[in-house]
A and B are shown apart, each in its own frame.
Chain A
């Protein structure tokens, strides 16, 4: 239902109302260096003239680093303690519809064979308010992967920019409950939203054809891979800003007597990601690692979870130090053998 309206000046009231209820309010905020999702305490910290925040909001559901257990070695015993997570209610404001669609991808992997409560507990208590896109840039490609600037997947409440505020639509039960809880700040007026920014669909790219080509085993060793990924320098900027990348590493930190076990983001682009204890590395050169990331997005993921591995937000293109553009590879891979 899109019969509600939030006045620009009432955003502060919404933030206060959310925070009074004990939840954190996450929104894009600009400091001296960048526009990024962070916890805000007032409307003056929230920006609206952004395309996408530098970080994806996944870090509020799946932090870069978190303690999952602690250990202590004593004279004749060892004390192990698991961490019982008590998730804080979280409202994500200003997500773009593309990245909101990534929630399905994260949820699928964290509940697949083992329910990762560190993720599910946080997700259960998170409300996603997306703001439909009225601006974009040449790295945006949501329309090419079947999404749009007002796609609804993963969105609880959709805001659309309008004169003097936002038109508000409740899309899920979670969203309805949220709006009901803070109903005093919304007005019951319908209004016309501003026109949206639709990135041009990239010619010659077809996600289905990509999957078909990647399914052909003969193409795994296609000589085009080393060429396409030759310039990749093997950093983790793409994976760490990607809203659907979810790989993590478990490490122990501390002294010989006590310490903690942590779950840290990891990236398939790092050369030691698949390094075996024997010294063997099945992905021993960079193009194999890059190929893996691409196949994860367009083959493994859709096959296993029937959800999107890539949502077309374009962050990986924007942050890449060598401008390795995933859409160029998509174009190449759309050509059936």
Chain B
């Protein structure tokens, strides 16, 4: 699979179809997989693909990365879940389909965090998204590397995130409030959740708008709550549950619970799943006469 990937990357760079291949490679000491940017055909052997390729590289396609855009047209090594984000970027006019060459990777699941990797991909070290994945074979691509995985997602979603959401739903509102205030109290406002998210592509985030200051930037309970709620609301109907924010959080705030709940709510209310159709606009930015909500009529 890696050989096929490298062959494709070499070909794309050699024929000038792309200027850079955004993919995965090992760090110098070979202990971790990290994003790599291949610009020369002779460097394609650095590219790898294995269950530790957890990063969603689509963030590098956004306008936050001017330096990368300046290199020229990119090809991106993307798993199905990463492609969902590319789909949203196209739907939201952040990217034209032809602006990127998608090297879709057939995927058998990833580890939740690289540190959990002990040489074997076991279900207990995989994130909830992998247990329910319906895009192990990519759904939007220019080419696909790898064979179609035999995996079929379960009828009813399974995994820790769903179990925890059920437990939270059973709590009364004051219990849920206490749970989230406690979780958000650890927030250090490093904004790793925002920076790693390819759908948080605003060049100036609302937290940075200070005339007037809309969101209190201090890391006190009120500031933390307002940041985390704002982040959640801005991703409603857009988030694809790639899980990068939770993976990146240095203080382990369970953001996947927030994201999945949002997805459940928007799916129920608008019958919309983000990340599948690059021609469909997210429900929060469109008006539809068929909208089943009638309060506005």
Contacts and interface: CB of A to CB of B under 8 A. Distances in A.
Given A138-B29, A253-B216, A267 B55 contact: no
B218 A264 contact: yes
Contacts of B253: 33
Given A230-B37, A321-B244, A324-B34, A264 B217 contact: yes
A166 interface: no
Interface in A235-262: 235-237, 239-241, 249, 251, 253, 262
Contact of B248 (A65, A237, A251, A262): A237
Contacts of A54: 250-252
Given A325-B28, A328-B28, A331-B28, A234 B195 contact: yes
- Chain B contact surface mostly: loop
B238 interface: no
A138 B190 CA distance: 24
Given A264-B217, A264-B218, A230 B28 contact: no
Nearest to B31: A138
Nearest to A287: B67
Contacts of A74: none
Given A230-B67, A251-B213, A262-B218, A270 B251 contact: no
A231 B60 CA distance: 8
Interface string A18-58: 00000000000000011010000000000000000011000
Nearest to B196: A321
B248 A235 contact: yes
A236 B27 contact: no
Contacts of A189: none
* Chain B residues touching A, range: 35 or more
B35 to A, nearest CB: 4
Contacts of B59: 233
B219 interface: yes
Given A65-B223, A240-B250, A285-B66, A235 B28 contact: no
Nearest to A332: B28
B192 A64 contact: no
A323 B192 contact: no
A64 B188 contact: yes
Interface string B46-81: 000000000100011000111110000000000000
B189 interface: yes
Interface residues of A, number: 40
Given A33-B251, A267-B190, A230 B219 contact: no
B34 A323 contact: yes
Nearest to B188: A240
A304 to B, nearest CB: 26
Which of B189, B216, B244, B250 gathers the greatest number of chain A CB atoms within 10 Å?
Answer: B250
Given A65-B223, A323-B32, A226 B67 contact: yes
Nearest to A232: B195
A33 B250 CA distance: 10
Nearest to A319: B250
B176 to A, nearest CB: 16
B101 interface: no
A253 B212 CA distance: 11
Interface centre among A226, A249, A323 (most CB of B within 10 A): A323
A33 B246 CA distance: 12
A251 B195 contact: no
B27 A34 contact: no
B117 interface: no
A192 interface: no
Interface string A264-280: 11010010100000000
B220 interface: yes
A330 to B, nearest CB: 11
A251 B218 contact: yes
B240 to A, nearest CB: 17
Interface in B193-251: 194-196, 204, 208, 210, 213, 216-220, 223, 244, 247-248, 250-251
Given A33-B254, A322-B35, A322-B55, 10 more contacts: A54-B252, A138-B29, A231-B36, A235-B196, A240-B188, A241-B188, A264-B217, A287-B67, A321-B196, A321-B247
| 10 closest cross-chain pairs (CB), A and B | A321-B248, A235-B192, A236-B190, A235-B195, A33-B252, A65-B218, A319-B250, A323-B34, A64-B219, A233-B195
30 contacts: A33-B186, A33-B254, A34-B251, A34-B252, A36-B251, A54-B251, A64-B189, A138-B31, A230-B37, A230-B67, A231-B35, A233-B196, A234-B195, A235-B192, A236-B191, A237-B190, A237-B250, A240-B190, A241-B250, A249-B217, A264-B218, A264-B219, A265-B188, A265-B189, A319-B192, A319-B250, A321-B195, A323-B33, A323-B34, A325-B27
